[in-house]
Amino acid sequence: AVPLVVAINTSTAARNGMLIRDRIAMEEARNLDTVMFDKTGTLTEGEQGVVGVTTVDGWNDRRALAVAAGVEGDSEHMIARAVRSAATERGVEPATVTDFENLRGLGVRATVAPEATSAPTRPSGTSSASKGGETVHLGGPNLLERLGVERPSAIATFADEAGSNAQTVVYLVREESAVVAAFALADVVRAESRAAIDALHAMGIEVAMLTGDSEDVARAVAVELGIDQYFAEVLPDEKDTTVARLQSEGKLVAMVGDGVNDAPALARADVGIAIGSGTDVAIESGDIVLVDNDPRDVVRLVRLSAASYRKMQ
C-alpha cells in the first residue's frame, strides 16, 4: 500500500523547513533522550571574525597576518576564511606558500618563502616564491599539543583573556616550534539556539555539545546556553565515538552538525540532523536536513515525529 501517512508527513516536514532523507530516523525522533549539537556553525553563526592579534618581539600584526593568510591557502574552514578576510580588510597581501596541507581538526601547515618570516612584509605585488622556505603551522590548542609546543607567557595571557570571552584562539608556529603570534576570533551564538535548548529541556530531552574548539570557549557557550554536558577539543575522528559513548549508556541520540568533521557522528547517531547551509558531506550523512539552518527546527522535528507516528498506530 502507499504509505500515505508518511507522504503527508514528508510534505508537512518540508513546510516546517526540514527535508527527510531517512523515514526510520524521523520515526525515532519522538523517543530521543539526548540531542548533541556541534558548536561552530550549528549553535553559532560560524561567521567568525578576527578581533585580536598578538605577536612576540620581532614580529608585528601585519606580518603575522600575511603569513597566516598565506598558510591558510584556500582552506574552506571558517577560521581560514576569517583570517583571509582580516588580511584583505587591512590591505595585507598573503605570503606565498607551497606544500599546503590541511590537518583535520588541528589546523593547517605550509611552506612559506623565507622573506615572509625573516623580513618585513613587502608591498603587494612584489613578493616572490623562492627556493627553500620554512614550514609554518597555524591551528588551535590541539595542534600545539600535537607539536609539543609551549606558549610564551605573553601569548598565553592573550589567549586566556580571549578564551574567557568565548573567543577562539589560533596560533602561528614557526619551524623551530616557536609560537610567534596568536589570533582571537569571535563568533556569535545564533539567536534561536537558546529557545531551541529551552524547548528541548521542557520536553525532557538532554542537550549536549561537541566541539573541536578549546575548553574555555566550549564552557562559555555551554553556560550561556544552559547546555547539560559538553565535550571540547574533540578531534574529528573522536566525534562519532563520543556519540557512541552516549548510545552505550542506553540513550537514543540525535546529532546536529554542519561540518565535514561532523559527518561520521551524523551517520553514527540514531537521528542525524544536518544544517542545510553545511557542507555536502554533512548533508549526505544526515537523516534529516534543516533547510533554514534554524536549531529550533529540531524541536519541531520531535513534535512532528510524535504527532505523525501516533496517528499510524
List residues with catalytic annotation. Answer: 38
Residue 296 C-beta: closest distance to ligand ADP, Å:
21
Which one of ligand ADP, Mg ion, none is in contact with 75 (Cβ closer than 5 to 8 A by kind)?
ligand ADP
Within the chain, what is the greatest distance between any pair of CA atoms?
Answer: 75
The answer to whether residue 272 forms part of the interface with ligand ADP (CB under 6 A) is no
Spatial separation of the C-alpha atoms in residues 20 and 23, rounded to whole Å = 7
The answer to whether residue 187 forms part of the interface with Mg ion (CB under 5 A) is no
Residue 189 C-beta: closest distance to ligand ADP, Å:
13
Which one of ligand ADP, Mg ion, none is in contact with 196 (Cβ closer than 5 to 8 A by kind)?
none
Per the CB < 8 A criterion, the answer to whether 280 and 274 are in contact is no
**Where in 229-268 is the site for ligand ADP (CB under 6 A)?**
236, 259, 261
Residue 94 C-beta: closest distance to ligand ADP, Å:
13
- Measured from the CB atom, the residue of 49 and 236 that comes closer to ligand ADP is 236
Grid cell 589560533 in the structure block, residue: 170
The answer to whether residue 40 forms part of the interface with Mg ion (CB under 5 A) is yes
**Where in 19-38 is the site for ligand ADP (CB under 6 A)?**
38
Residue window 78-107: x/- pattern of binding to ligand ADP, with contact defined by CB under 6 A = -xx------------------------xxx
Q: How many binding residues for Mg ion (CB under 5 A)?
A: 5
User: What is the helix (H) or strand (E) element at residue 52, kind and residue range?
Assistant: strand 49-55
Provide the grid cell at 147. 607539536
Spatial separation of the C-alpha atoms in residues 97 and 74, rounded to whole Å = 11
- Integer Rg of the chain from CA: 22
**Where in 105-164 is the site for ligand ADP (CB under 6 A)?**
105-108, 138-140, 142
**Where in 233-262 is the site for Mg ion (CB under 5 A)?**
258-259
User: What is the helix (H) or strand (E) element at residue 185, kind and residue range?
Assistant: strand 179-186
Residue 77 C-beta: closest distance to Mg ion, Å:
10
Instruction: Out of 170, 225, 271, 299, name the contact with ligand ADP by CB under 6 A.
Output: 170
Per the CB < 8 A criterion, the answer to whether 291 and 18 are in contact is yes
Alpha-carbon distances of 12 from 19, 22, 300, 307, rounded to whole Å: 10, 15, 11, 11
Spatial separation of the C-alpha atoms in residues 172 and 161, rounded to whole Å = 18
The answer to whether residue 70 forms part of the interface with Mg ion (CB under 5 A) is no
Residue 261 C-beta: closest distance to ligand ADP, Å:
4
Q: Which region holds residue 66: left if phi is over 0, alpha if psi is between -120 and 50, else beta?
A: alpha
- Measured from the CB atom, the residue of 73 and 257 that comes closer to Mg ion is 257
Which of 225, 227, 174, 223 shows the shortest CA–CA distance to 205? Answer: 227
- Using CB under 5 A as the criterion, which residues of the chain lie in contact with Mg ion when the complex forms? 38, 40-41, 258-259
